[in-house]
Amino acid sequence: MTEQDGYLSEAPAAATSGGLASERFRERAAASQSGVVDVERVNHLASRAVKALNDIVLEEAVSYDEYNAFKAWLIKVGEDGEWPLFLDVWLEHSVEDVATAHRDGSKGSIEGPYYIEDAPELEWDGTIPMREDEPGTPLSFSGQVRAVDGTPLKDARVELWHADNDGFYSQFAPGIPEWNLRGIWAVNDDGRFDIHTIRPAPYQIPTDGACGQLIAAAGWHAWRPAHLHFKVHAPGHELLTAQLYFPGDPHNEDDIASAVKPELMLDPKPAADGKGEDVEYDFVLDPEA
């Protein structure tokens, strides 16, 4: 539990945040009605995954004690609702690389487990929903959305969400307003946007559940560098999902989620009025196939 500038934030239990992430994922999966139906593809991928695990057992001479510890840990991941966290932290970055390898526009990155649909829609030059006297360094984020040929995309929408100054996300931690630091902006006729928010803090993924147990047992750390999450939409163009990072963060080089890319690094400057920081970053979208 931390206190800063009059706000008291309590880190959610792994089971609480994990349960919320699992519930949100189930809702979105049901709404999209998407599913894998290619039997040959399922057979191929499942067979390779099972073979890879068996190869590890044989090559590393895994004992029954180690096997049973692994089985107990898998059960705990499910009990804590941490499958979304585990998969998004340790696997999604590779899936994202495959999904976007063909793109010529802006680089993307993982969505992560803390996205919430239907955030408030706001004017292009506006402030993200936040608490009165929200702790943190003021951040003005501006830029342009355009196509790969340079055409401004005047019908684009820029969606932003991020952690607060204590490293907590609204709807995944207690005591934070529902849509705090979450919003969607329609760009202007030149494809430009100007968003006012605060600089987020680095944070540790939950460590009191199964994922934290693995981290401790392996001697890893649980830190993610400070980052801003974006989804950028425009008719006729591929959706861009990205996380943008700040230079100098000690965990840019060893992000637990392996999601940092050089193209996603921001270059903040001191604000002209001396209050906070300004940053400019453009999004370039690929056309839909």
pLDDT of residue 1: 36
Model confidence at 3, pLDDT cuts 50, 70, 90, reads: very low
- Helical H segments across 61-188, by residue range: 64-79, 83-90, 92-100
Please give the helix or strand (H or E) that residue 189 lies within, else none.
Answer: none
Spatial separation of the C-alpha atoms in residues 80 and 171, rounded to whole Å: 17
Lowest mean pLDDT among 93-97, 104-108, 206-210: 206-210
Is 2 within a domain? no
In a domain, 1, yes or no: no
Q: Rounded to whole angstroms, how far apart are CA atoms 143 and 137? A: 19
Q: What percent of the chain has pLDDT over 90?
A: 80
Q: How many folded domains does the chain comprise?
A: 1
Whether 52 is covered by a domain: the verdict is yes
Give the model's confidence band at 4: pLDDT under 50 very low, under 70 low, under 90 confident, else very high.
Answer: very low
Mean pLDDT of the chain: 91
Section 5-16 average pLDDT: 58
Confidence grade of residue 9 (pLDDT, cut at 50, 70, 90): low
Find the angle CA(120)-CA(125)-CA(129) to the nearest 5 degrees: 35
Provide the domain limits for residue 230: 10-289
CA atoms within 13 A on the CB side of 151: 11
Q: What percent of the chain has pLDDT above 70?
A: 88
Asked if the structure places residue 5 within a domain, the reply is no
Residue 170: predicted pLDDT? 96
Mean pLDDT throughout 236-263? 97
* pLDDT value at residue 289: 86
User: Tell me, what amino acid is at 225?
Assistant: P
Give the model's confidence band at 149: pLDDT under 50 very low, under 70 low, under 90 confident, else very high: very high
CA distances from 16 to 10, 148, 208, 222, 237 (A): 12, 42, 11, 18, 36
Asked if residue 87 is part of any domain, the answer here is yes
Q: What is the mean pLDDT of residues 105-122?
A: 94
Q: Is the pLDDT of residue 32 over 70?
A: no
204 Ramachandran zone, left/alpha/beta (phi>0; psi -120 to 50): beta
Average confidence (pLDDT) over 162-183: 95
CATH of the domain at 66: 2.60.130.10
Residue 153 falls inside a structural domain: yes
Q: What mean pLDDT is predicted for residues 153-167?
A: 97
The pLDDT value recorded for residue 123 is: 78
What pLDDT is stored for residue 109 in this prediction? 96
Average pLDDT value for residue range 222-250: 97
